[in-house]
Amino acid sequence: MHVSLTPELESRIKAKVESGLYNNASEVIREALRFMDTHEDWIHEVKLARLREQLKVGTDQLDRGEGIAIESKAALDAMFNDIKG
CA distance 20 to 29: 15
Render pLDDT for 48-77 as a digit per residue (tens, 0 to 9): 999 999 999 999 999 999 988 899 999 999
For 24, the 3-state DSSP assignment is: coil
Closest by Cα among 4, 37, 41 to 13: 4
CA angle, 62 then 67 then 68, to 5°? 160
Render pLDDT for 19-38 as a digit per residue (tens, 0 to 9): 999 999 999 999 999 999 99
| Banded pLDDT at 1 (limits 50, 70, 90) | confident
Q: Tell me the pTM.
A: 0.57
CA distance 63 to 61: 5
Give one word for 5, left, alpha or beta, with left for phi > 0 and alpha for psi -120 to 50: beta
Task: Tell me the average pLDDT across 1-10.
Answer: 93
